[in-house]
Structure 1
Amino acid sequence: MPLGLFALTVSAFAIGTTEFVIVGLIPEMAVDLDVSIPTAGLLVSLYAFAIAIGAPIVTALTGGLPRRALAIGLMGLFTLGNLIAAVAPGYAVLMAGRVVTGISHGVFFSIGATIATSLVDRSRAGQAVALMFAGLTVAMVVGVPFGAFVGQHFGWRAPFLAVAGLGLISVAGLFLWLPGTIPHNPPTGLHSQLALLARPQLLAMYLVTVFGFGGSFVVFTYLSPLLTDVTGVSTGGVSLALMLFGVATVIGNLLGGKLGDRIGTRKALKVVITGLALSQAALLLTASHPLAMFANLVTWGIFAFAISPIVQSGVVAVATAEAPDAIDAASGFNIAAFSLGVSGASFAGGLIVAGVGLMATPWAAVASTLIALAIAQWGLRPHHGYMSV
């Protein structure tokens, strides 16, 4: 594979690490910044919101720019955002750094797959995209738990400095190894992209993503205080829990894709979302028992991340049948839906933690997941043969 593809993979690893490393550091950050735990949780919420809202707009505005220069510039902006976070004198500046990083994250992934496929012949396009996104997978398994471990032992600023270093390596790799000219078709205008939301089947799948995938982050954003205050594990145990959850996400991603291919989008979503609701409800019983809680985290992670490939393949199938000229835009909206779900759920989780307490968050997650199940049941219908019942 071309070296430029490995530079994209390192970029994806850095981006995936910085998005969720905060989950393992929220208690420490809240104390050091003199803010509440829910306020610290907004560092996850607004990062995701920046991806969901900023990325489609900035992607449309930068559609005519050369891909090589844009990719390098985005990773430079990403690196700057992490440096701002690392040296931030207070909460407001830290939040500004997170928003800058979130926007660059969203736009980079909007163009990354196209760049990856341009580096290889058509027969290896799928492998190229998979290799790039493997960076995200490795980030969940290694980067996030290791970053949390580093932050717990050397201060919460250390992971941001480390990710900024990875950002510089990515910039250098992209500069050295991406070709001077990368062919691309400029994306459709923002108005044309928004018109996709008027298509009922696409809108239904985006809502499944928001409520089904996103709902887990009512709990996951505040997993660290839940584990230390309720389950009674050490900070080292939090890093182990994040690693187990990361491994589960890899398994879930693989199983979800296979299940969707085997029984169809709608059936697969109903199976996976039902399992997710049950695993979230089980948190109410397992949270006070360490071994049971760790086992519960694995099942929860599998079901939560099995949703992603099912919905994404379903979106592509629907867009291919109904809007073949806007497949990339349709997929991009699903990425935005992931981030919107994370943003809304983590914000709601902060309100719940501040008002009712940590152990109320699983109830909210279950409620959100059941909304997704209802949409899968009654909002998704077979149409022209592209979605199995």
Structure 2
Amino acid sequence: MGVVCVTALQGSGQFVLFSYFAPILRERLGADATQLGLVWAWFGACGVVGNMLVSRHIDRIGASRMVLVTTALIALSLLLWPLGVSLVWLAILLTPWGLGCFATNSAQQARLVSLSPSLAPGSVALNSSGIYIGRALGAGAGGWLLAHGAIDWMNWVGLVTVLAAIALSISVDRARTRTLAINA
């Protein structure tokens, strides 16, 4: 369940801001529909590349480490978000997030399968629930911040939540290592 909670925290941290890209980019950068479409297309293309890279390297790096890498990429973009003062800069800053955003879910699923192959159907299904719970919580928090004029806090709330996901992920791995050492 710790791994599923990591997924929920990842989703929550991302969706504080991700859910509101369109109104924020319109307000802050004057983005029109075409520019918003290009930002989404770029983000999606980065997501495809990220998933391809994870698929290619996960066996060598390991699922748990890949989760940390992909989540750190998301955290990097959330940290640098305030520097996105133009659409070009924003696209550059969104690249790490795009690479990590969808790939982290793939890595989490591989992690769950490797932890207990016999429980994989149930654990992967629970992970999907974690994704949706996280998205709902993040979007709710982001909506609250947006409604209260706290747009400048959205990336920071997201970042803290994603950093909590990283801390929990490390904690889950350490607990598993200790358990395996005791049982050996």
Q: Which residue of 2 aligns with 1:297?
A: 94
Residues of 1 paired with 2:120 and 2:25: CA distance? 41
Residues 1:341 and 2:134 aligned together: yes
Q: Which entry has the higher C-alpha Rg, 1 or 2? A: 1
Shift of residue 275 of structure 1?
2.1
Residues of 2 paired with 1:214 and 1:252: CA distance? 20
Residues 1:231 and 2:29 aligned together: yes
Q: Which residue of 1 aligns with 2:44?
A: 246
Residues of 2 paired with 1:259 and 1:204: CA distance? 24
Q: Which residue of 1 aligns with 2:79?
A: 281
Q: In the alignment, is the contact (CA less than 8 A) between 1:256 and 1:308 conserved in 2?
A: no
Residues of 2 paired with 1:331 and 1:303: CA distance? 19
Cα shift readout 1:95-126 (whole Å, capped 9, x = no counterpart): xxxxxxxxxxxxxxxxxxxxxxxxxxxxxxxx
Residues of 2 paired with 1:343 and 1:328: CA distance? 23
Q: TM-score, normalised by structure 2?
A: 0.89
Q: TM-score, normalised by structure 1?
A: 0.44
Residues of 2 paired with 1:276 and 1:312: CA distance? 18
RMSD after superposition:
1.7
Aligned residue among 103, 112, 117 for 1:306:
103
* 3-state SS of paired residue (2:31): coil
Q: Which residue of 1 aligns with 2:68?
A: 270
Cα shift readout 1:324-358 (whole Å, capped 9, x = no counterpart): 2x421111111111111111100111011112422
Residues of 2 paired with 1:210 and 1:293: CA distance? 25
Aligned residue among 51, 54, 57 for 1:259:
57
Paired residues in the alignment total 178
Shift of residue 284 of structure 1?
1.2
Residues of 2 paired with 1:337 and 1:224: CA distance? 25
Residues of 2 paired with 1:353 and 1:376: CA distance? 29
Residues of 2 paired with 1:213 and 1:258: CA distance? 23
Residues of 2 paired with 1:256 and 1:211: CA distance? 20
The residue type equivalent to 2:145 in the other structure is I
Q: Which residue of 2 aligns with 1:211?
A: 9
Gap regions ≥5 residues in structure 2:
none
Aligned residue among 370, 373, 376 for 2:163:
370
Gap regions ≥5 residues in structure 1:
1-202
Q: Which residue of 2 aligns with 1:220?
A: 18
* 3-state SS of paired residue (1:353): helix
The residue type equivalent to 2:28 in the other structure is V
Residues of 2 paired with 1:339 and 1:330: CA distance? 14
Higher alpha-carbon deviation: 257-266 or 359-368:
257-266
Q: Which is bigger in relative contact order (C-alpha 8 A, separation at least 6)?
A: 2
Residues of 2 paired with 1:304 and 1:213: CA distance? 9
Percentage of identical aligned residues: 25
Cα shift readout 1:40-86 (whole Å, capped 9, x = no counterpart): xxxxxxxxxxxxxxxxxxxxxxxxxxxxxxxxxxxxxxxxxxxxxxx
Structure with a larger share of its residues in helix: 2
The residue type equivalent to 1:217 in the other structure is F
Shift of residue 384 of structure 1?
5.0
Q: In the alignment, is the contact (CA less than 8 A) between 1:213 and 1:308 conserved in 2?
A: no
Residues of 2 paired with 1:334 and 1:285: CA distance? 33
The residue type equivalent to 1:357 in the other structure is A
Cα shift readout 1:212-254 (whole Å, capped 9, x = no counterpart): 2332111111000111111222121111111111111111112
Aligned residue among 345, 354, 358 for 2:151:
358
Q: In the alignment, is the contact (CA less than 8 A) between 1:213 and 1:341 conserved in 2?
A: yes
Residues of 1 paired with 2:139 and 2:55: CA distance? 26
